[in-house]
Amino acid sequence: MNDKQISDVLIHWYEANRRDLPWRDTTDPYLIWISEIILQQTRVVQGLDYFYRFTRRFPDVRSLAEADEDEVMKYWQGLGYYSRARNLHAAARQIMDQFGGVFPRTREEVLSLKGIGDYTAAAICSFAYRQPYATVDGNVYRVLARLFNIDLPIDGGEGKKYFTELAQSLLDSRRPDLFNQAMMEFGALQCVPKSPDCVRCPLNDKCRALASGQVERLPVKAGKTVVKPRYFNYLHVHARGETLLSKRTGNDIWRNLYEFPLIETGRPLTFGELQQTEEFQHLFHEIEDVEVIREVVAKKHVLSHRVIYAVFYEIRVDVFSPEMEKYLRVKDANVEDYAVSRLVQSYLETRESLLF
């Protein structure tokens, strides 16, 4: 089976099995861009509602560029990997400033946008403009590794270069949009990570990994990220109808999202031990009556390179201490208006369920 036959088989399979998704019925580069950024770290079934919600509020580049960052983050809330939202916002402003509000058309110009790499640029250019650039995502790596029985690690420089060149060599230049969609959909629905249905695979007679019994072993990754634990003690402090919030800054996780005052410790602490820390005593200096209304131990929160163990203490005080003046004070009823991490949102939902 030659390259054209592989392409024809994949496209034929795609036309019979494709999912009906909104970003596949448009050539608008803005909508395609939004969908690709959402789907970078989010499964389709989870991302669909977010796509509709986000694009209803920000239907074009101008509306996104002119929005306040806090609002953009709020509409992204729950999707995680929040740098994606910050980059979207920055890139929208870049398009307004550098391209007159018109989404760029060349691969080089698209690559110049904040947060866009080779894969996303290829996706936008092939889907919106039918330009001949192969998209190589996790699904494509898997299909190619199995079809050609390639054991080069997909997370190494050599492997990435090899797979990219291979995908480009297979690309149907007359139908790059269909071919790329077909390849990715084939990996998502047919050539799945675990226990693929090889009996019904239209490429099973040409799959070298199937012939050699290597399907489950491929693709190969060189190494795994070391996951480290972190221990968060959140202090949900409120007095006289107001709650303290803080905006995360720096280069840590959840940058520019809001949260309650946080004391991070090197190990789990009881509340009594937490009270003895310098940070707690400094924060509650001159406050005599600290009433802990409830304690909520959050479920283990797993990120790509961290595992967060969090405890939330809801605390009522009569007045805020001088040290608490550095925090943002918001009405209790308005806390939900602020963009927070999934961890904090889960706590707020748990707390609400306990109130009723």
Are residues 126 and 37 both part of a single domain? yes
Query: What confidence score (pLDDT) does residue 356 get?
Result: 61
pLDDT tens digits, one per residue of 157-166: 899 999 999 9
Q: Is residue 211 part of a domain?
A: yes
DSSP string, 3-27: HHHHHHHHHHHHHHH----GGGS--
- The stretch 196-216 carries a mean pLDDT of 94
Structural element, H or E, at residue 232: strand 228-239
Catalytically annotated residue among 36, 185, 259, 314 = 36
Query: What confidence score (pLDDT) does residue 354 get?
Result: 78
Residue 330 pLDDT > 60: yes
Write down the residue that tokens 């707690």 correspond to. 280
Classify the C-alpha dihedral 71-72-73-74 as positive or negative. positive
DSSP string, 67-105: S-HHHHHHHHTTS--THHHHHHHHHHHHHHHHSTTSPP-
Are residues 53 and 178 both part of a single domain? yes
How far from the centroid of its chain's Cα atoms is residue 230's Cα?
20
Query: What confidence score (pLDDT) does residue 2 get?
Result: 65
Structural element, H or E, at residue 179: helix 176-189
Q: Which amino acid is at 20?
A: D
Our answer to whether residue 273 is catalytic in this structure is no
Are residues 213 and 279 both part of a single domain? no
- The stretch 249-268 carries a mean pLDDT of 93
Q: Is residue 222 part of a domain?
A: no
Are residues 262 and 289 both part of a single domain? yes
- The stretch 310-327 carries a mean pLDDT of 95
Are residues 139 and 250 both part of a single domain? no
Q: Is residue 16 part of a domain?
A: yes
Residue 143 pLDDT > 70: yes
Compare 81 and 53 and report the one with higher pLDDT. 53
Q: Is residue 223 part of a domain?
A: no
Beta bridge partner(s), residue 307: 229, 302
Question: The domain that contains 75 carries what CATH number?
Answer: 1.10.340.30
What is the tally of structural domains in the chain?
A: 2
Are residues 205 and 242 both part of a single domain? no
Are residues 287 and 208 both part of a single domain? no
Query: What confidence score (pLDDT) does residue 250 get?
Result: 84
Q: What residue numbers bound the domain in which 208 lies?
A: 3-217
Query: What confidence score (pLDDT) does residue 1 get?
Result: 55
Are residues 348 and 257 both part of a single domain? yes
Are residues 96 and 50 both part of a single domain? yes
Are residues 25 and 110 both part of a single domain? yes
